[in-house]
Amino acid sequence: MEPLKILNVVGCRPNVIKIAPLIAEMKRHSEICQFLVHTGQHYDDALSGIFFRNLDLDPPDVCLNIGSGSSPHQMSLIMRGMEDVLLEINPHLVIVVGDVTSTVASSLTATSLGFPVAHIEAGLRSFDRDMPEEINRVLTDAISCILFATEGSAICNLLREGKSREEIFFVGNVMIDTLIMNAGKIARSSILSQLGLTPRTYALVTLHRKSNVDESSALVEICEGLEQLQRRIRLVFPIHPRTAVRLQSVGCWKRLMSLPNIQIVEPLGYLDFIKLMKESVFALTDSGGVQEESTFLGLPCLTVRENTERPVTITHGTNQLVGTQRSTIVEKGLEIIDGRRSQVQIPTKWDGHASKRIVSVLLDKAESIKQSLSSARKGEGCPHTLTPA
């Protein structure tokens, strides 16, 4: 019997973290033949290559090397590159993860050519259409034939948007799979000694969202909040290259660098970053991944946004939305420093077995997936719902 040929697509750092445990699980099954394409949306070694090495991932089978640029520019390059890759490999299924430009561009290309698409992290919604990621999520889900959800709210969102229950699979969170799989290596990381830190003496800061970094007023307000917080606790800030440029342009860079209790460091690999997070007092972030990882670790998390597409991190986890006003950022940070903690419950199916559930679904539906590709390639289009296996 012909193996199920799957084309996995990644474009940036979070995608690599999410796809690693899935590829590891696929390799355990001879019934699956998988290929990995990296679009090159993140191309700096600190944001891409080191994650492949940390997670023991083989180099991608294909790298499109699209580089930097506006979203429309990147999308056009990805779509052109993906068209050639898809026609050459001719997979039965294309798997995309997350909500970045590479996710939606690859999904659109695959669907237009008649290749079925499966979306991991389907159904997450912030309900903020000013976020590029929200548009990417909605579009990708609309054209995907298989939808893998991480939390209950995602299922409700997909059903409300008209997706069929037969298309949706509640599998858990592959990011937690990666964290659990690498627990031993994370524990052995020497990043704290390298940075001269001791556990529970610092907070972790990350900033990269367009709404925070590209909006001058928000960025200045956040920086003023950091300035006040560093009077009570050391802040360790692995900085995204684009964030560093923006801090300089709004006049905050020199000020932050001069503060005695803020430690700005280069971007970190996965193992070092999770170790740094795990041993901190709390995380101050705008990252969706950090919201999820901190919830699993039981670490308080302050999200500098007005909304989140991961509500389970608030209802079950450690996450709080604090917006971008310095007064709220400081107030909530001081509450944690002074010992106020919330009760934590690990979300359902965040147990390290999401990848196994995904592969089980794929194997169960293998013949249906192959048939849907055959129909679509004959010009009948990708069926809205795959027939039951």
For the annotated catalytic residues, the residue numbers are 208
Report phi then psi at 311, rounded to 5. Answer: -65, -25
CA angle centred on 151, ends 145 and 157, rounded to 5°: 60
